[in-house]
Structure 1
Amino acid sequence: MVAAPLKLLLGLENEGFSFVDVGHSYQPKARKNSKTLYCDSLYRFCFWDFWTPLLNQYCVQFKRMKIAVEGCMHGDLDKVYDTIKYIENTRNIKIDLLLCCGDFQAVRNEKDMDSLNVPPKYREMKSFWKYYSGQEVAPVPTIFIGGNHEASNYLWELYYGGWAAPNIYFLGFAGVVKFGNIRIGGLSGIYNARNYCLGHHERPPYNDNTIRSVYHVREYDVHKLMHLEDPIDIFLSHDWPLGITDFGNWQQLVRYKKHFKDEIQQGTLGSKPAAQLLEKLKPSYWFSAHLHCKFTALVEHEESGRVTKFLALDKCLPGRKFLQIVDIESDPGPYEVQYDEEWLAITRKLNCVFPLTLRRGDFGRTQLDMQDCRQWVKSRMEDRGAKPCEFSQTAPPHKPSDSVSNTTFSGSPRNPQTVSFLELLDLPYVLDNALDSRDTPASLPQKDDYSEDIPIEDEDDLEDGEPNNENRSS
């Protein structure tokens, strides 16, 4: 179990443990020096008294893994990786891992944008396709979860997790992996009460309703995560756990996000399933994004005595708090993504009740004899190894030289990584199963009046002065 605190890596190191915001203005507006590393001293001192007494007890020197945590990627991989390289070069450090908390936008080609819930005027190819095609290679191992602005057709191929591109690993709709000896779990998507209890009924090509519901968190995936018993070091979610603001300085938060105040006071800001997972799993660290701002909190789990350090980050824009470097106690390596034995056992045991229609899943009839199942999984992993299958392309990458897209929809292909994963667990492939004829997406209302999406261009990003009339949720 990792119990190391967040350590101040850059600037004022003699003050002890704290946070530092890192990044540079790659597209400066007000900034004159586009290569100036920035940190928010005001923010750091504001939270100093809140953090120090509780974290000093962990002040022990160990071998540490340097992890970069990023908020909403929105397809800007080049900019985030350039920022990491700049930090490494100027501070003479090596980042071991990048974690992204959703809205990754793994768009491979023009056709993938049809599965991206973004207004057409905001749809851009961005830079993921370069890494998918092999034109570029991620300079640091990257693990990400999904948010509410994703190429959902591609992520569905990798429902159980897998390489979205070389050195870039998708954690799945829900998943747990090991990186070195660090155990990382995550839940993709955002919470929506209307769709929470439904099965994963959506299939590409998506209609106006399913393009939104496909990324809504499902009870089945949370149910799997709730069966975890071994300690989790890091957990990722896109939206924040419900009530997390009670454990941080929410008064400061609403000073620059005034529209959060009513939801905080009413106890409606955040995800109920994420709050349940936070209470059950009690990870050492919990990282989120979605609300396009930075926020910290410290959750003390009274009965167990464990502490969860929560951090939410912004999206990748100049002058925004989108990236954080965290030092975590770790063995010296090797640092590589590996399957997690307990998670594989849970997946194998619960795949028989995987709900694939609009009907609610029936989880009560499944008895989890985890000891026998874990022994079976352990034996399989000893024979095959714990590393995921190699990356493989399942769609042609974008070609900038093509004036017109030649990509046509051909359904959702069986990704060889997913096939290999299911063969490892001796499970059938069910992701392309047809819907029950009585349970079609057309039976759902086309407009969802309960929503929790944040538009890609939220109100503090609109430059043309247009009002933001979209709901913050969807």
Structure 2
Amino acid sequence: MIVNIAFEGCCHGELDEIYQSLQRLSVPINLLIIGGDFQAVRNWRDLNCMAVPAKYYRLGDFHDYYSGKKKAPITTIFIGGNHEASNYLWELYYGGWVAPNIYYIGAGNILNFDGVRIGGLSGIWKEGDYYKGHFERVPYTEGTKRSIYHVRQYDVLKLYQVSERVDIMISHDWPAGVEQCGQLSELLAKKKYFKSDIDNNALGSPPAMSLLRRLRPRHWLSAHLHVKYAAIVRHEPRSQRNNAVTDHASQMTEYFSQLPKAGNADEITVDIDDLPTTADGAVANNYTNEDEIAIESYNGQDANMIEASNSQKVVTDSVDDKINLDEGNLASAAPILEYQVDTPVSFDEDTISGRPASACPKSVVGDTATGPTENTTDACGFTETRFLALDKCLPRRNYLQIIQVRTQEHNGAHKLCYDPEWLAITKAMESYMSLDVQQPELFATSTERERLTRDISDAREWVQKNIIQLSKLEVPNNFHRTAPPSHRDDSSMNTAKLQPTQYNNQQTQDFCDLLGMPNRIWREPGQ
């Protein structure tokens, strides 16, 4: 079966335009992946939980999908970025439907869609918050409004337990050092102000690069920096894997404790993050970003771009294996990336590289960085990872990519399903998550690592018996509204200066019940 997957960079509330762009293609899209800054704003009060200056508040398109006025025409999954209604996403920490047919991956997750194994890590890297617990709750301060979307070590270590091959991995910010694996001079020609961060090893996320090395996915997709960029990360052969499933945990903890300061990854030099922040309430829906720097459309060696009917750009990347072209229509003018998904391979534990996080696993220079190459698999995953970052949804920007996947699934149902290995990891590691400012040190002793190994093994057996054998892997369509929706002409916009209360989302309770674990995401008022 062929699965057509579209990847879009930063959303920034422009759902209508994204769906309209996809519907103009002749190739039917089965799944849409959005790389963050989704902005699932249900009402005007949610805007007070999003880290943007008040003068940029806008309701966006999402509230129409949340209220039921519109329905997403394509199954959509997204990760969280650094411009989100964080109060709503926290309700669905483990993942869930934010609206019918639109699924938030959660803080970290592995999902299956028609045989394609897709992983995601929400948020962005900032070292000062990396070792903290998930302590933030509404009402947010200006500080916690930002710290809540900073990646936590706990969520990274959960993904580090994944041992079966991942086809597509998504993060909002780029893996640290990945810019060295593509045409860096062309990137700097488009984004000159990146040079300082690159020179200081401060561009991108060290935990994301660590995961890229560990998981070796077929594709790694990112957004955040508002530029299209392609690269190939070629992986060096690995030695015989250690049999201890969590040896990497202590190695990873030591590895990150030695990292240099990574700078302030929150702030993009010319984006709205750098503007003064106030809390003086919602403003009218007349959003324009006068600080946005206009860039000419790029048509370099690593991209082929074609004009859409409304001057939008659909971007495809020639870094991949096979090009399918049919003359005479929009979809055919955009080459489609195609590859084969084989049966996932289980393997024993990996060890983390000792190289600095800013170093690319294997630098690729010259035309080889953007030319088609053969990507094979071994017992450790793929031999190379195809990195692609895209822009945000604006006219004449490179924000869409189509990936065509051949899978061994033949039912044509296009269902989103839980991943058995991830369910086991989540169940086994739930007790390690801190909801306080301090996160106790994770896997500090060999005894703790051995215990986790046993717990994951026991959880795999539990999942097999209580979920797989009972045919409960399909993600249920259990969306329901929590907060009331607003509308663009809602008069409440003039009084919605207060933050909302936190809501108890039944989807999170259902997920916790599925795994037989407590729901600690919801706290009664006053707790």
267-276 or 188-197: bigger deviation:
267-276
Query: Cα deviation per residue 1:295-327 (whole Å; 9 max; x = unaligned)?
Result: 001111121561111100000000000111111
- 1:386 maps to which residue? 473
CA shift at 1:403, angstroms? 1.4
**3-state SS of paired residue (1:361):** coil
Q: TM-score scaled by structure 2?
A: 0.68
1:318 corresponds to which of 395, 412, 415: 395
Confirm whether residue 157 of structure 1 aligns to residue 85 of structure 2. no
1:402 corresponds to which of 483, 490, 497: 490
Q: In 2, distance between residues paired with 1:413 and 1:247?
A: 43
Q: 1:56-71, aligned counterparts within 5 Å? A: 63-71=1-9
Amino acid at match of 2:506: P
Contact kept, 8 Å, 2:112 with 2:416, in 1: the verdict is yes
Q: In 2, distance between residues paired with 1:281 and 1:436?
A: 41
Confirm whether residue 367 of structure 1 aligns to residue 452 of structure 2. yes
Query: Cα deviation per residue 1:262-309 (whole Å; 9 max; x = unaligned)?
Result: 222332211000010000000001000000000001111121561111
Contact kept, 8 Å, 1:74 with 1:316, in 2: the verdict is yes
Query: Cα deviation per residue 1:323-357 (whole Å; 9 max; x = unaligned)?
Result: 11111222343211111110010000000011111
Q: In 1, distance between residues paired with 2:212 and 2:416?
A: 23
Q: TM-score scaled by structure 1?
A: 0.76
Contact kept, 8 Å, 2:16 with 2:61, in 1: the verdict is yes
- 1:283 maps to which residue? 217
- 1:266 maps to which residue? 200
- 2:139 maps to which residue? 205
208-217 or 352-361: bigger deviation:
352-361
CA shift at 1:70, angstroms? 0.3
CA shift at 1:371, angstroms? 2.6
Q: In 1, distance between residues paired with 2:64 and 2:20?
A: 14
- 2:12 maps to which residue? 74
Structure 1 residues 393 and 262: CA distance shift in structure 2, 3 A: same
Q: In 2, distance between residues paired with 1:161 and 1:251?
A: 38
Structure 1 residues 371 and 207: CA distance shift in structure 2, 3 A: same
CA shift at 1:363, angstroms? 2.4
Confirm whether residue 376 of structure 1 aligns to residue 314 of structure 2. no
Structure 1 residues 436 and 246: CA distance shift in structure 2, 3 A: farther
2:429 corresponds to which of 350, 356, 359: 350
Aligned residues: 371
Contact kept, 8 Å, 2:433 with 2:439, in 1: the verdict is no
Structure 1 residues 302 and 435: CA distance shift in structure 2, 3 A: farther
Query: Cα deviation per residue 1:207-248 (whole Å; 9 max; x = unaligned)?
Result: 111000000000000010000001000000000000101110
Contact kept, 8 Å, 1:175 with 1:185, in 2: the verdict is yes
**3-state SS of paired residue (2:470):** helix
Q: In 2, distance between residues paired with 1:166 and 1:245?
A: 36
Q: In 1, distance between residues paired with 2:193 and 2:487?
A: 41
Q: In 1, distance between residues paired with 2:165 and 2:391?
A: 27
1:173 corresponds to which of 104, 107, 113: 107
Query: Cα deviation per residue 1:144-201 (whole Å; 9 max; x = unaligned)?
Result: 0000000000000000000011000000011111011001100000000000000011
- Unmatched runs of 5 consecutive residues or more in structure 2: 238-379
- 1:335 maps to which residue? 414
- Unmatched runs of 5 consecutive residues or more in structure 1: 1-62, 438-474
Higher relative contact order (CA 8 A, sep 6+): 2
Query: Equivalent pairs: percent with the same residue?
Result: 45
1:300 corresponds to which of 234, 238, 257: 234
- 2:172 maps to which residue? 238
Query: Cα deviation per residue 1:84-142 (whole Å; 9 max; x = unaligned)?
Result: 0112xxxx220111000000000000111010111111110010011111111101100
Contact kept, 8 Å, 1:240 with 1:271, in 2: the verdict is yes
CA shift at 1:409, angstroms? 5.4
Q: In 2, distance between residues paired with 1:178 and 1:329?
A: 14
CA shift at 1:203, angstroms? 0.3
CA shift at 1:66, angstroms? 1.1
CA shift at 1:380, angstroms? 1.8
Structure 1 residues 434 and 278: CA distance shift in structure 2, 3 A: farther
**3-state SS of paired residue (2:20):** helix
Contact kept, 8 Å, 1:356 with 1:435, in 2: the verdict is no
